Structure 1
Amino acid sequence: MRISCALFFFIVLVSANGLRFLRRRSQNKTLQIQTQNGIVQGIEERSGYGRTFYSFMGIPFARPPIGNLRFRAPEPPNPWRGILDATQEASCCMGLVPEYVNAFNLSSDGSEDCLYLNIYTPKNQNIETFNPLPVYVFIYGGGFMIGCSNRVLYGPEHFMERDVILVTMNYRLGILGFMSTEDLECPGNWGIKDQLASLKWVNENIKNFGGDNRKITLGGHSAGAASANILLLSPRASGLFQGIIMQSGTILCPWSNQTKSREIAFRTGLALGIETQNSKELVSELRKVDVKELTTRMIPVLLLELMVMIKGGFPFTPVVEPNHKDAVITNDSYDEMKKGNFPKMPVLAGVTEFEFGLFQGTVQVFYPYLVTLLNVTPGFAVKNIKSVADRYIVGKKIQRYFTHKDSYELSNMRDLLEYLGEDFFNYPVQKTLSFISRKSPVYFYVFSYEGPSSQKALAELIKLKERKIKGACHSEEIYYLFNGSVSSNSDKRDAMDTQVSRNMINIWSNFITYGNPSTPELENISWPTVTDDYFPYVRIGYNLKLIHESYNKKNYEFWENIYKTFSN
């Protein structure tokens, strides 16, 4: 009997799709949890603050999207026998961007077999308690092209200081996650459908980990925030979460959607030697292409799109789908937001003080090209305005507003970075919250802390010796919310960094637990909510400061006037 058991575990160990199983001598029943698909065994860990927690990593929430499942909606995972080893992280999903525009220094390494999630829960929570803990499901960012749920960026230890369960998941990226032919052969949004599948899995299983499936907050950063916004709008996600956190991104950000996905899909096919204008043939042939070749040979397409990204957005992003049973987006997101076609729930959202500062290394590479282009054709980057003449007028208005001159100057990159930060982040985020505030309580924050360790880490990530243009930039708050080793050479956090982390975790955990982010650090002052055109906010730094003046008022009114006057 023992021989047959050992043989069974050996066969399972080497034959399962990317799954690892524990041999009997490595099993520990106190760390085992029964899921609907099988038993998982986690690991006990201790945070830097001394609190013990359980980690369950690399749990499959869908079948591997390989072979014939490439460019298809995720399918439920196959059940397993034996004890699944959930003590190690699974592979990241494959994504790719050229090195010099790669803000997180990630490569194309990864696997197509990547649909796994991680669950972290405080040890002092009785798994079988009748008082389950609130749950935070977090979606990473990365422009829908790069990213991973691993602990290099998203370590759980800060959250484990609070009575909150943290869930992170992988989702398909780039061409594998977002290619669309704009028809039923390949409607797209595979990455969003992966996120939806993980949410369903969490709802069905989190109770066994001590979590409350009636108290789930969905959140994300950048592309992850835009994804959460999409799921807020999608009827298919209705009832799966009860609160939402959006950090530096929404579906109205111009980089979060693509209107020329069919054109891009066929251009990708041509780069791979597939000469056809037939969707079925294109998709069939692309399913046969080796995954490494598929992701690397799309570099020319990616570069072409990045050159005009300032106008057209990233090449592989969410799209409006034709109606079908798996569709997550079938209507224009702006219209849906304006009409209030989403469930009522509390919202915590915000931006950093100088969003586009993260991309100064990338902008620096293209800066002479961008300055010349925008000076010669001011309307090039103008969106949502069809008339060429109107785009020119608006482009000149934008130019004069941000430079106080008639042209952008090579000697002053900050003007362009401020404009791009407004266009790509601040205004669309505020406009989204304006719509949501008509129906739901919206709490707004601005992250303004510039710690020396995060400044150094992010400078390394964007391949600069130092960030010459200062200001808390896009992604900087991630360094304090999570404790991932963003840069292996970064300095250790000092007391001020630790205080900022505590401020953030207090805000996030209060919102996740109570639906209201107010903390004792605000001296029992109630955090006011956003209204249609009024954005009071809390400035997050070493101290928390409540600001009653509407955030970014002058700039917001500038954009409102532009679009009311010229928008189609």
Structure 2
Amino acid sequence: MWSRSVVKWVVLWSLWAGRWVRQPTREVRVSNGWLQGVIPNEGTHAQYLGVPYATVKTRFQAPGPEPTWEGTRVFHDEHIRCKQRFSSTFITGEEDCLTLNVYTPLQASPDPRPVMVFIHGGGFRDGSGSPFLYGPQYFMRHDVILVTFNYRLEVLGFLCLGIKEAPGNVGLKDQTAALKWVKKNIRKFGGDPDNVTIFGESAGSASVMYHLISPMSKGLFHKAILQSGSAISPWSFQFDPLKTASQLAKSMGYSTEDPNEIYRIFMTKTAVELLTARVPRRKGDIVLSENIFVPCVEKTLPDEEQFLSDTPYNLISNGHYTKVPLIMGHNSAEGYMFAGKENDTTISNMDFNTIPRDLQCPNDDEQMKIGKRLKELYMGNEEVNKETLVKFAGFEGDSSITFPVVSAIDMLVKTSTEPVYSYKFSYDGWMNFAKKYFGFMSAPGATHADELFYMFKIKIPVLLHEYIEWDVIQRITTMWTNFAKYGEPVPRGTPLLPPWPPTDKADQRLLGIGKKCSMAPVWSSEALLFWNSTYTKYRRKA
């Protein structure tokens, strides 16, 4: 497998080389003005890359309207990223970065096509809608329209000071602006604005859940798919955003908890300075605890529309969300990716008594009791070290992804009036690139993001891999696009696909997607049941 440094340079090269595609599409009139896209060399689809859907007028504030222009603009480039930390020493991207990509089949259709809008992951810290990782080719075979987009990240997208200058959640408000653009314009590309499925992975999946619970996004989508992420994950919600902001200010040499003063400080800093500053991780905590600028509950402010007025847990558990058909699931070995990001220092410091930030124990004795039991469940009598990382990965994956996902499934099944289809992706094949990249090549199962490589075509050459894994690619993309078209992933009587009934609240089962597909319990381990009993007692509510 290539080294990480080689992969990074391949990414940069591909972003440059991808510009050499120039066969034009027909002209399309959208709310911005006239535009034209390109047909790539393989001739499978038309693509409109880097179309601006909104503007960043002022840092930390909601997006402004889409820009307009005279004449016809050709959108053949997708080179804009939102400002982010590509590595510890390399900050890339732009602050005015709100662009989207539209992909359409070339063949004419007598009827408007279903629309699938994908929200990228990256822990609300990094990522983009780039075709480098999210190429549309596999989806284009299923007669749907695909949209991907960028949104503001990290402190630039999720500073939440509770003042009108920085109310919070502007990254999610960017996403809503993208969905509004789609609703207003997608018919011009042959899409059906009344049949929009939003789907996302990791932070993108958590984002999908945020759109379910936000009144700001109501009516902008009709189905939703949530892959390996939840708004009730410990890393996807900040309970004390002013404290988080003051900690970042402190790391830059300022001691204040005054939101107006913090705002003035941050406005004097460049984006590079803001993203280079670091708030140290709690000693003993896991890598995802470093995700601190994430969504928050906003204060009620004059003339400011709230995206989120209560915690995700409160809203979901009480049924206060948009009821649409859902698919939700996780991968079988989520934690390999996160364990693979740990280093010698963080591994040696790891402490099971450092519980997730969305738990509140009544005293230290109870917290240590929980930590002791967690260590028994995941490590037995062994310590955390490089030789036992596969075991420790189970803890990182369950605490960060798997338990929050199955807990959300449980709440959704019990409160929704629409079907909820649950899954666990465990397929272990040639294209499990995330697992290989993070050093778990011989470990069983699928880690965080592994399923994406069977859904989206990446720009690294993988022709042999595609040939070997084509049946899996077809199976997954068929189920996902069936859901977008019909509201169920496996309509009755569909050949070559496994039966996949909705999850029943009294007997919660999911589809295991592996070398063979079969139904299995949602609550699949003693460890998950222990997490559930612990959160039932000590979940932080506000």
Structure 1 and Structure 2 fold alike (TM over 0.5): yes
Q: Following the alignment from structure 2 to structure 1, what is the Cα–Cα distance between the partners of residues 188 and 333? A: 42
Return the letter of the residue paired with 2:207: S
Q: CA deviation at 1:86?
A: 1.1
Structure 1 equivalent of residue 480 of structure 2: 508
> Pick from 331, 339, 347: which aligns with 1:360?
339
Give the conservation status (yes or no) of the 8 Å contact 1:527–1:538. yes
Greater displacement, 70-79 / 522-531: 522-531
Aligned CA distance change for structure 1 residues 148 and 224 (closer, same or farther; 3 Å): same
Aligned residue for 1:56? 48
Question: Once superposed, what is the RMSD of the aligned Cα atoms?
Answer: 2.7
* 1:70 aligns to 2:59 (yes or no): yes
Structure 2 CA distance for aligned equivalents of residues 311 and 140 of structure 1: 17
Tell me the residue number matched to 1:33. Answer: 28
Q: Any idea what the Cα deviations from partners look like across 1:507-535, whole Å, max 9, x if unmatched?
A: 11101111100167765764121233643
- Please point out which of 392, 398, 404 is paired with 1:416: 392
Does structure 2 retain, via aligned residues, the 8 Å contact 1:535–1:550?
yes
Structure 1 unmatched runs, 5+: 1-25, 101-106
Q: Aligned residue pairs: how many? A: 513
Q: 1:422 to 1:533 in 2, by over 3 A?
A: farther
Corresponding residue number in structure 1 for 2:203: 223
1:97-117 Cα offsets, whole Å, 9 max, x none, are: 6559xxxxxx52111121000
Residues 526 and 236 of structure 1, relative CA distance in 2, 3 Å threshold: same
Native 8 Å contact 1:454 1:490 kept in 2? no
The residue correspondences of 1:134-173 to structure 2 (distance < 5 A) are 134-173=114-153
Matches of residues 305-316 of structure 1 in structure 2 within 5 Å? 308=285, 312=289, 314-316=291-293
- Is structure 2 residue 540 aligned with structure 1 residue 562? no
2:428 to 420, 445, 450: 450
Partner of 1:480: 454
Q: Is the 8 A contact 2:120 2:127 kept in 1?
A: yes
Pairwise CA distance, 1:490: 6.1
Q: Normalising to structure 1: TM-score of the pair?
A: 0.84
Contact 1:379/1:394 (8 A) holds in 2: no
Distance of 1:524 and 1:495 partners within structure 2: 19
Aligned 8 A contact 1:215 1:241 in 2: yes
Equivalent residue number for residue 322 of structure 1: 299
Q: Identity of counterpart residues, as a percentage?
A: 30
Change beyond 3 A, Cα 1:567–1:81? closer
Name whichever of 312-321 and 52-61 sits farther off: 312-321
Separation (CA, whole Å) in 2 of partners of 1:567 and 1:267? 24
Q: Is 2:513 the partner of 1:540? A: yes
Q: Secondary structure at the match of 1:331?
A: coil
Q: 1: CA distance between counterparts of 2:442 and 2:506?
A: 34
- CA–CA separation in structure 2 for the residues paired with 1:533 and 1:410: 41
Q: For 2:171 and 2:349, how far apart are their aligned partners in 1?
A: 31
Residue 365 of structure 1 and its aligned partner are, at CA, apart by 3.3
Asked if the contact 2:377–2:527 (Cα under 8 Å) also holds between the matched residues in 1, the reply is: no
Superposed displacement of residue 283, structure 1: 1.5
Deviation by residue 1:162-181 (Cα, 9 ceiling, x = unmatched): 11000001000111111122
Residue from 73, 83, 89 that aligns with 2:72: 83
Cα distance, 1:61 vs structure 2? 0.7
Matched, 1:244 2:240: no
> In structure 2, what is the Cα distance between the partners aligned to 1:291 and 1:563?
37
Deviation at 1:369, TM superposition (A): 2.5
Q: 2:99 aligns with which of 101, 109, 116?
A: 116
Partner Cα separation in structure 2 for residue 295 and residue 492 of structure 1? 39
1:108-507 equivalences under 5 Å are 108-126=91-109, 129=110, 131-274=111-254, 276-296=256-276, 298=277, 300-301=278-279, 303-304=280-281, 308=285, 312=289, 314-324=291-301, 325-371=304-350, 373-374=351-352, 378-381=353-356, 383-387=358-362, 388-405=364-381, 411-438=387-414, 439=416, 440-455=418-433, 458-460=435-437, 462=438, 464=439, 467=441, 469-485=443-459, 488=460, 492-507=464-479
Q: Hey, what's the Cα distance between the residues in 2 that align with 1:295 and 1:32?
A: 39
Per-residue deviation, 1:269 = 2.6
Deviation at 1:254, TM superposition (A): 1.1
The 2-side partners of 1:46 and 1:140 are apart by: 25
Distance in 2, Cα, partners of 1:281 & 1:491: 54
- Contact 1:434/1:530 (CA < 8 Å) preserved in 2? no
Runs of 4+ in 1 over 6 A off after TM superposition: 519-522
> Is 1:95 the counterpart of 2:95 in the alignment?
no
Whether the 8 Å CA contact 2:118–2:198 is kept in 1: the answer is: yes
- Compute the TM-score of the two structures, normalised by the length of structure 2: 0.87
Contact 1:40 1:86 in 2 (8 A): yes
The answer to whether the 8 Å contact 1:529/1:535 transfers is no
**Contact kept in structure 2, 1:220 and 1:247, CA below 8 Å:** yes
For structure 2, the residue ranges without an aligned partner over 5 or more in a row are 1-21
**Alpha-carbon separation, structure 2, partners of 1:205 and 1:59:** 12
Name the CA distance, whole Å, in 2 between partners of 1:125 and 1:551. 45
Given that 1:138 and 1:219 are in contact with CA atoms closer than 8 Å, whether structure 2 keeps it comes out as yes
Q: How far apart in 1 are the matches of 2:231 and 2:207? A: 7
Shift of 1:424: 0.9
